[in-house]
Amino acid sequence: MEKHGTERLETERLVLRRFTQDDVAAMYANWASDPQVTRYLTWPPHASVEATRAVLAQWETQYADPGFLQWAIVPRGLGEPIGSISVVRWRDEVEQAEFGYCIGRAWWGQGYTSEALAAVRDYLFDRVGIRRLQGCHASDNPASGAVMRKCGLAYEGTLRGADRNNTGVCDMCVYGMLHDDPR
């Protein structure tokens, strides 16, 4: 396993790239300030553009770390980010990466998250050399599980009362995929 940092990835409809301070307004407006988008996440909606600016400033410094993977999801025709996808946890001892994603409501149900996850999945398996990919979601958010299944991850079980998000303590559904599983 060799971590290379957040490299630019491209798909048919998307560019996945690093965030910059130029993305502050779009991130705030498109998803970070929306309580419906952040409902099942572990961070609260941003109360101001300044909160988004601070997050992006932190991410920009973290990009120097090859283990920090945080992409802006940018549709080619739009030119501004509509969400983010990242590696939220590494388990080097088992060569595992766990991902997380978030996308603005206006783009739900259009396949953008699945397309972004497929690109990140392939990057992690083929370029980084992970052995296992894992994703988790609150049991009250089945749409997130549908994204994972669409990208080839298998449902592995539900851990009862094992996580906390903006709704409180919740059950956590776990999905996984090994390098040699069909994509």
Q: Could you read off the pLDDT of 106-150 as tens digits, one per residue?
A: 999 999 999 999 999 999 999 999 999 999 999 999 999 999 999
The ranges assigned to domains in the chain are 9-131
Per the prediction, the chain carries an average pLDDT of 97
pLDDT tens string 45-86: 999 999 999 999 999 999 999 999 999 999 999 999 999 999
DSSP secondary structure letter of residue 162: E
Closest CA to 99 of 3, 179, 174: 174
CB-based contacts of 60, cutoff 8 Å, min separation 6 = 18, 19, 20, 21
- Calculate the CA dihedral of residues 55, 60, 62, 63 and round it to 10 degrees: 140
pTM of the model: 0.95
pLDDT tens string 96-109: 999 999 999 999 99
SS (HEC) of 22-84? HHHHHHHHHHHCCCCCCCCCCCCCCCCHHHHHHHHHHHHHHCCCCCCCEEEEEECCCCCCCEE
pLDDT tens string 148-166: 999 999 999 999 999 999 8
The average pLDDT across 14-25 equals 98
Give the model's pLDDT for residue 134.
98
Give the model's pLDDT for residue 62.
98
Query: Considering only the top CATH level, what class is 9-131?
Result: alpha beta
The average pLDDT across 85-98 equals 98
CB-based contacts of 106, cutoff 8 Å, min separation 6 = 30, 82
